[in-house]
Amino acid sequence: MKLYNTLSRSIEDFKPIDENSVKMYTCGPTVYNYAHLGNLRMYIHEDVLEKTLRYIGYPVKRVMNITDVGHLESDADDGEDKMLKGAKRENKTVWEIAQHYTDAFFRDIEKLNIKKADVVAKATDYIDQYIEFIKGLEKKGFTYIANGNVYFDITKVTNYTKLSGMDLEQLRTASREDVDVDVHKKNPQDFVLWFTKSKFENQAMKWDSPWGVGYPGWHIECSVISLVNLGEQMDIHCGGVDHIPVHHTNEIAQTESYTGKDWVKYWWHGEFLIDNDGKMSKSSGEFLTLSLIEKKGFNPLSYRYFVLNSHYRKQLAFSFDSLASAENAYTKLKSRVKSIKDNLDDKGANEQAAVRYKEAFKKCLEDDLNTANAITVLFDMLKTDELNSSQKLELVADFEKVLSLDLLKEETIEIHDELADYIEEMIQKRQDAKKNKDYQLADSIRAELLEKGIVLEDTRQGVNWKKIN
């Protein structure tokens, strides 16, 4: 298997530290709001990476953190506290916010057939371990205290920017320029390990520590959670490309300073999902969530299919038109599989051809996770005359260990609340259009619903609707 390693900036042969297992860490969500589609794209790619490793024979232990403690908008210890921001927005406690959006995140990944990590670690469960970690760095001379806060001194680290390849001036430019500069830092890129004083009054999440009552800096959680659950060295650390210059750079600095060892063998980063305004974020009013596309009538697995037809290291442009195209292709794929399933035939088996298709699928995944080519192999296999229908279904089941698109799952027609609300809203718009004698709009609404499998029936009593496969 070959993977792109951000650390070497090249595609490398994948060789785990221990041939009998793979240790993998994935940066989890900050649970102050719903995950947007850009976040979920990364989790889909990480899911495929883990399932591919298992598919080719590696046992995997994957750990993911849940950031449920104050995390600032900027990687550089600047900006607004996200958890506090969420609590103010919804008039809830930060603890209620954290639990609500943690639950929402796991509902989303279940709908997308993303496997839950073997270890899910809440940041707030590791406060004692953070304190011990900071004490260890303090003992080794990597920290200093200013204005009551404990800082990590990056000048004590050789090759601080080895992951990003940037010089320090580039890193300063990469950081947000519209935030207040922390005048207490010795160096602009130093970062906080423990806050006892910050610009936030009445901070809800605080704990006792040797340096005073406060809370941890956010870079520390991934380092400590991985050390506790995976040991001092691991194979793969995943995350978005936006984490490279600061967050992951700081993780490396503090972890390797603490252990005295190289920490991660392969740094694996995914590119952005972009919309018309560029990088997708939660800053806009109605940002793109899985619930939103469900409300518009889309199947969550159509989004998974959309993502799998792109490469994780390339930016992916999102639009509802492109999602609709993906859903159309996904629906046709499911129909083709169903047709094969309905016409089972086990005569004339060609074992050599079956092995050839399986190897072709595997090679695509081993080629830096080329899921788009893997799906092409799936289509070619379904169309070929070399295999009987029983062999095709066996291969679909095999490929599904990685793709996880429910291709063999029996369809059950379910109408979730978001879709029901959307249908009723569209029916009302159609009724208004007909009252205004805008029959073209009324017909287009009926056609739009029909594309999503919703059939309207006009009766004397009103409009009835039903969902069809």
Please state the residue numbers annotated as binding site for Zn(2+). Answer: 27, 222, 247, 251
Residue 451 CA from chain centroid, whole number: 29
Residues placed in the known binding site: 27, 222, 247, 251, 282
Percentages of the chain per state (helix, strand, coil), in multiples of 5: 45, 20, 35
Q: How far apart are CA 42 and CA 37, in angstroms?
A: 9
Residues placed in the known binding site for ATP: 282
| CA torsion, ordered 216, 217, 222, 225, to nearest 10 deg | -10
- What is residue 183's three-state secondary structure? coil
Residue 412 CA from chain centroid, whole number: 27
8 Å CB contact between 261 and 232: yes
Q: How far apart are CA 298 and CA 302, in angstroms?
A: 7
Burial status of residue 390 (CB atoms within 10 A of its CB: 0-12, 13-18, 19 or more): middle
Q: Can you list the positions of beta strands (E) in 202-306?
A: 215-216, 234-240, 264-270, 273-275, 278-279
Q: How far apart are CA 68 and CA 142, in angstroms?
A: 27
User: Exposure pattern of 243-268 as b/e (b: 16+ CB <10 Å)?
Assistant: bbbbbbbbbbbbbbbbeeeebbbbbb
